[in-house]
Structure 1
Amino acid sequence: MALEKLISEGDKQLHEKDYLSAIATFTSALKEAPKALQAFLKRATAYQKMSKYENAKRDIADAFEIANQRGKREDLGECYFKLGLVLYAEKDIVGALKNFERAVEYGCRETTASTWKTKVEYEVKKQQEDKTIPEQNGKGPDSSSASQPQSDQKVGKSDSSVKEKIKDDWYQSGDKVIITVYAKAVKESDVEFKADESSVLISFPISIGSEYQFEINPLFSTIDPQSSGFKVYSTKIEVSLKKKEAVKWSSLAGAEESNTLSNESSATHKPLSYPSSSKKAINWSSFDIQDEEETDKSETDFFAQLYKNTDDDTRRAMMKSYVESDGTVLTTNWEEARAKKFETSPPEGMVAKKWDSKT
């Protein structure tokens, strides 16, 4: 099979979250062309999606060697960008920033490289500011207050002691769907797992009087609950759902999804959007970019870095595209943005998550 066809097939499998098949396809591509830079970088993306970060970094290291041999700055820039995404997924935001800076310096082809650089600069600055908060009541600053990408599900905070930030992700093979919940030091005996043909629920305590609960009802397609289950690791819980039919899932949830994350203290949980948590419908044509009702100060500071030397229409386009896409699309063309509804579209190598900057 021609290299281009294998790359195209692997791209499709990545889009469908069939990461195991994508890895196999890009491996076949590398057998045909051992110096195929894109096959290494795309296989690294598939490994990253499965949280196999060391595998991803090995592929990126091979890509760096090929890029150095070619001597093309944009190839090196793309390698730096991919490594930045892996480090960001590992929560090494300082290391990620250094690589995003190099990616921009080397002319990375990825159009969102500059946006990622600005975004992570903001996070590093915010984290450094949080570390300078004076001690209160004998307690130092809480490192969890730094901005981090979050899933659509959020942990309730009616109890001030609840500080955990739980993320989740999923991928699929031909006959299984794997859901990963990233939580450290959870005891298997504390985990409650329930599944039937059309729903799944997993819950466990996260602090005294608080409980994390992840529920999908209905699922995208039916499963075999008897062949489904979970495993607890030191840093995550992995849920394996056996498909009843060998079909590709385009999402975890079906048409009438009911994702629930609750707390035993009966807190109300509402997903937040970045950069604005406002639920009001926004008239973008007349939107005032200085409106404090729509953005808090920290968010305004973030956009101030992008707004320099731009007119109001450019700013509206940037704000509208960024808000509607949960921070994954940034355009400066108001004529394009005016009538367009922007969907969440993260760059290759990242999972679409909503970001709560107020945590």
Structure 2
Amino acid sequence: MSVRYDWYQSETKVVVTVLLKNAADKNYNVSIEARRLHMTADGYELDLNLQHNVVVERSSHKAYPSKVEITLAKETGVRWESLEEKDKAVATAAPSKAQAKNWDLLVSEEEKIDEKEAKGETALNNLFKKIYSTSSPEVQKAMNKSFSESGGTVLSTNWNEVSKEKVTVKPPEGTEFREWEK
């Protein structure tokens, strides 16, 4: 199975970001050669023939919770037109298959994965954050006012109702509300 990746460069290095959650748990392995980058992880593989040479001794990689970041030290300060070496015969005979990345789609896919992994209170907090961030300013005011005035026991999105008077504390059934003693 292939992995999703992206890359960027500076004058001295090329950074390849491989999107792979919990890479350390998937026994990931990175092999860097002068013109080749190869990465494997339990059922995943990335094999790239690099466009230019890199200095293996100054190159490195590091695993993060959601990705593996591979830093390739450039042998020369040349700007790379692409990460991979192109086959010149194929490049002139066939049109380029390069496509623009749809970053919104990529972010939404990651959000879906995060939502599936979230459980309990984390999932509930994520839901409230999503509702708040996509709501109108009026709904946001209602949520802020109801939550703060009720001591965190009420969360309303109805500004017409909340704006009229102070929101009263409504503790969960079977419990009672007590003020902090001063």
TM bin (shorter chain)? 0.3 to 0.5
TM-score by length of 2: 0.48
Higher gyration radius (CA): 2
Higher fraction of strand: 2
More helix by percentage: 1
